[in-house]
Amino acid sequence: MDNFTFFSPTKFVFGKETEKEAGNLVKEFGGSRVLIHYGGGSAVRSGLIDRVKYSLDRSGIFHIELGGVKPNPRSGLVYEGIRLCRENDIDFILAVGGGSAIDSSKAIAAGALYDGDFWDFYSGKPITRALSVGTVLTIAAAGSEGSGDSVITKEEGMYKRGTGSEALRPKFSILNPELTTTLPAFQTACGITDIMAHLYERYLTNTRDVEVTDRLIEALLITMKNEGPKVIKDPSDYQARANIMWAGTMAHTNSCGVGRSQDWNSHNIEHELSALYDCAHGAGLAVTMPAVFKYELHHDKERFEQVARRVWGVDSAEEGIEAFRSFLISIGMPSNLEELGGSVEDIPELVKNLCYGDGRTGTITGFVTLDEEDCKRIYQMMV
């Protein structure tokens, strides 16, 4: 196990009707002027935004709204949010939604206190300060409610890139599993896939003797394997929703990733799919991960065999990958590039953007270092 420092200061408030505590929590963490940042109309139609606003009003907190966050959140709305924060002296951003709303909020939080272009942070510049962020989570998936990470798509060039900083960790996150019960089955399945991806990306490590975190990851993967089909069958199953929601948070606070190298090749490769096709991130990961795992298998077959035995109950690495792939298909995820809206003709563009776009120099590095030819072969395996 490698040396590590683990710092996870987010206050998690979990359970039914906890969104009613938003105002008290903003005040607890020093907020007085709030930007409520959210996605589409569902948060409005369901009455969630009104409940959040009422809670803020009751605590005497000024607030304005900025809706319209899309899946694979765009840079244009981030610039609009930064403008609103500066014009209204905003000191706290409250994200209401899933990972897209939270990631966009984090980008606004960093950009509002920076004289340059916020995209500098998504091109490698460290983030040292940001406005405070809180979340009201409506989708168990990205884990952004407990992490310092954010992913944004730059509309000029359609580059999807990430950044991370302790300054971006939410001050608090409200997790009410009831808010996820009305999600369509496909969106729920995408969330399950993303959670499992966060676990696999940490499991694929070149660090030895990490049994504690191996076992934590395996337990969470087994939880997703068991609870996932329950919510696909019965969307109103509160207890299964609750287990999945907390597993999603645990998967991405990095409590499972400390003291070990991590992969993230699958995420980097998938980002080009959702940038080009605007497909759901989880759906893209469902197609990407089996291909990446098969390609990386030679690097450390014993690691794949271990997860195959402990999680999927099969003996070989190949059987483990296939069991995972079959599970994803069983909950409604796509299995190939065509189902995402892509084709083999797109592969040169995908590879170019992945390996050379926005300042990259030809390789991506994780469990295995992949060059242009490696990435081309992986995309070809998705056809």
Per-residue pLDDT band at 363 (split at 50, 70, 90): very high
> Would you call 96 helix, strand, or coil by DSSP?
strand
The whole-number average pLDDT for the span 100-116 is 98
Range with the poorest average pLDDT among 70-74, 78-82, 372-376: 70-74
Q: What is the DSSP letter of 39?
A: -
Per-residue pLDDT band at 41 (split at 50, 70, 90): confident
Distance, in Å, from the CA atom of 195 to the CA atom of 219, rounded to the nearest integer, reads 13
CATH code for the structural domain at 185-380: 1.20.1090.10
Compute the CA torsion angle 34, 35, 40, 46 (nearest 10 deg). Answer: 10
CATH code for the structural domain at 11-179: 3.40.50.1970
**Tokens of residue 254, six digits:** 């990095």
What's the chain's average pLDDT? 97
Domain ranges of the chain: 11-179, 185-380
pLDDT digits (tens, 9 = 90+) for 188-246: 999 999 999 999 999 999 999 999 999 999 999 999 999 999 999 999 999 999 999 99
The whole-number average pLDDT for the span 342-348 is 97
User: Fold identical between 11-179 and 185-380?
Assistant: no
Per-residue pLDDT band at 130 (split at 50, 70, 90): very high
Distance, in Å, from the CA atom of 194 to the CA atom of 145, rounded to the nearest integer, reads 14
Q: With 90 as the cut, is the pLDDT of residue 42 above it? A: no
